[in-house]
Amino acid sequence: MNNLETIIAGIFQFDVKTGNIDANLASVVDGIHRLSEKGTQVTVLPELWPCGFDKPGMLIEHAKRTPQIIERLSTLAKKHRMIIAGSLPEKSGNHLYNTMVVVDKDGAVAGQYRKVHLFSFIDEDKAFAAGNQAVVCDTSYGPIGLMICYDLRFPELCRSLALAGARIVIVSAQWPETRIDHWNTLLQARAIENQIFIVASNRVGQDGNLAFNGHSQIISPDGVILTRIINHASEETVPINLKEIDAIRNRFDCIKERKPDAYKI
């Protein structure tokens, strides 16, 4: 594990073309190249960035290319000395998962997280099986917790990541414009209540009747929005100093001062 205190974190949002893996991969390769030129060390991509929320049968077909895509990410990560994370469809046995994969800067897979909370409102639970385990992966830049979209509405998950030592929590999403105020509020709340950095990537564009307007952002442990991209395809970076977490917790520590016996949940 690297003991660097300051990390250049990056977010990349783009219009995910449903079912068009080649076009989406080309967009990501271009975006990672531009982020690399800015010195980015950790990059977060949107949810299901290779294919979007395609029809269930097509998602199974798309998942066949996921190992190949991860190999491409591994090559990019190693070339640019950059951690790259985002969610992809994963086929395992008879199940299909919405899985976030984190590729470390040496090209090795540092961790995988199968989305626990599936959004039944859009029948996500009919296309995917739910994961059953929170994940904090050990990376070259320290422990990073993983979340995907709807997970944001479940504060227990993010708290569990902080308790497990995550200093940064990354979020991949396809969060629609109609509820973007919720996205903004929940991201900020997760950062503040856990005194951690949040690095979150959302998509832009149109998918059927749903519009997406991004608001990918990086948030400090005291809730300051360090950078945010609104309604256009783009990428942004910002340096984050992990010592800020200790400075804030030295004043008052929301993790240390919990009273779990009183909550009974």
Active site residues: 47, 115, 149
State whether the Cα torsion 151-154-155-158 is positive or negative. negative
Q: Which two tokens stand for residue 182?
A: 């919720």
Q: Which residues contact 262 (CB under 8 A, 6 or more apart)?
A: none
Contacts of 257 (CB under 8 A, 6+ apart): none
C-beta separation of 74 from 102 below 8 A: no
240-264: string of b/e by CB count within 10 Å (b at 16+)?
Answer: bebebbeebbeeeeeeeeeeeeeee
For residue 255, CA distances in Å to 58, 67, 127, 225, 252 come to: 43, 37, 36, 21, 9
